[in-house]
Chains A and B, each alone.
Chain A
Amino acid sequence: MSDLNTDIKKILVIGIGNCGRHDDGLGWKFTEMISKHSQGKVDSEYRYQLQVEDSVLVSKYDTVIFADASHSKLKQGFEIHRCRAATHYFYSSHMQTPETILYLAKELYNKIPKSFIVAIKGHIWGLGTTLSRVAEKNLEKAVLSFEKEFFKVAT
Chain B
Amino acid sequence: MTRKITIDPVTRVEGHGRVTIHLDEYGQVKDSFFHIVEFRGFERFIQGHPYWEAPVLVQRLCGICPVSHHLAAAKAIDQLVGIDPKDLSPAATKLRRLMHFGQIFQSHALHFFYLASPDLLFGVDAPAEKRNVVAVAVENRELAVKGITMRRFGQEIIKAVAGKKIHGILAVPGGVHKTFTQRERDFFMDGKEIENIDTMIEWSLGVIDFMKGYHEKNRKLLDEFAEFPSGHLGMVNELGAMDLYDGKLRAIDHEGNRTLNDISTDLYEQYFSEAVAQWSYMKFPYLKGVGREKGWNRVGPLARINLCDFIPTPLAEKERQAFIAFTGKKINNSTMYSHWARLIEVLHAAEVMKELLNDPELLGEDLVRKGTPRSKGIGIIEAPRGTLTHHYEVDEKGMITRCNLIVSTTHNNDAMNTAVKWVANNVISRKGAITDGMLNQVEVAIRAYDPCLSCATQAMGKMPLKAELYNYKGEMIDERFKY
Contact = CB atoms under 8 A, between A and B. Distances in A.
A93 B115 CA distance: 7
Contacts of B138: 107
B371 interface: no
Interface residues of A, number: 18
Interface string B136-179: 01100100110011011001000000000010000000000000
Contact of A104 (B11, B137, B151): B137
A52 B148 contact: yes
B114 A93 contact: yes
A53 B152 contact: yes
A100 interface: yes
A53 B148 contact: yes
Nearest to A103: B134
Given A52-B114, A55-B148, A91 B482 contact: yes
B134 A48 contact: no
Interface in B81-134: 110, 114-115, 129, 132-134
A85 to B, nearest CB: 11
Contacts of B301: none
A87 B483 CA distance: 15
Given A91-B483, A94-B64, A108 B145 contact: yes
Interface string A14-56: 0000000000000000000000000000000000110011011
A92 interface: yes
A55 B134 CA distance: 11
Contacts of A100: 134
B191 interface: no
B8 to A, nearest CB: 10
B19 to A, nearest CB: 15
Nearest to B144: A108
Contacts of A103: 134
B interface residue count range (under 10 / 10 to 19 / 20 to 34 / 35 or more): 20 to 34
Q: Which of A56, A89, A93 has the most CB of B within 10 A?
A: A93
A48 B60 CA distance: 12
A31 to B, nearest CB: 16
Contacts of B390: none
A107 B137 contact: yes
Contact of A53 (B14, B141, B155): B155
A53 B482 CA distance: 24
Given A91-B9, A91-B482, A93-B110, A52 B141 contact: no
B63 interface: yes
Contacts of B133: 52, 89, 93
A87 B134 contact: yes
Contacts of A108: 137, 141, 144-145, 148
A143 to B, nearest CB: 25
Given A53-B155, A104-B137, A107-B141, A48 B148 contact: no
B63 A48 contact: yes
Contact of A91 (B11, B64, B137, B144): B11
Nearest to A104: B137
Contacts of A53: 148, 151-152, 155
A43 to B, nearest CB: 15
Interface in A92-129: 92-94, 100, 103-104, 107-109
A95 to B, nearest CB: 9
Contact of B166 (A48, A55, A87, A91): A48
A109 B148 CA distance: 11
A91 B132 CA distance: 8
A91 B133 CA distance: 10
Nearest to B8: A91
Contacts of B11: 91-92
B12 interface: yes
B166 A92 contact: no
Interface string B200-227: 0000000000000000000000000000
A104 B133 CA distance: 9
Contacts of A89: 129, 132-134
Contacts of A91: 9, 11-12, 132, 482-483
A52 B106 CA distance: 13
B152 A56 contact: yes
A145 to B, nearest CB: 31
Interface in B26-67: 63-64
A74 B376 CA distance: 53
17 contacts: A49-B63, A52-B133, A53-B151, A53-B155, A55-B148, A56-B152, A87-B134, A91-B132, A92-B11, A92-B12, A93-B14, A93-B64, A93-B110, A93-B133, A103-B134, A104-B137, A108-B145
Given A52-B114, A93-B114, 4 more contacts: A52-B151, A56-B149, A93-B110, A107-B138
Interface of A: 48-49, 52-53, 55-56, 87, 89, 91-94, 100, 103-104, 107-109
Closest 7 CB pairs of A and B: A91-B11, A89-B132, A93-B114, A107-B137, A89-B134, A53-B148, A53-B152
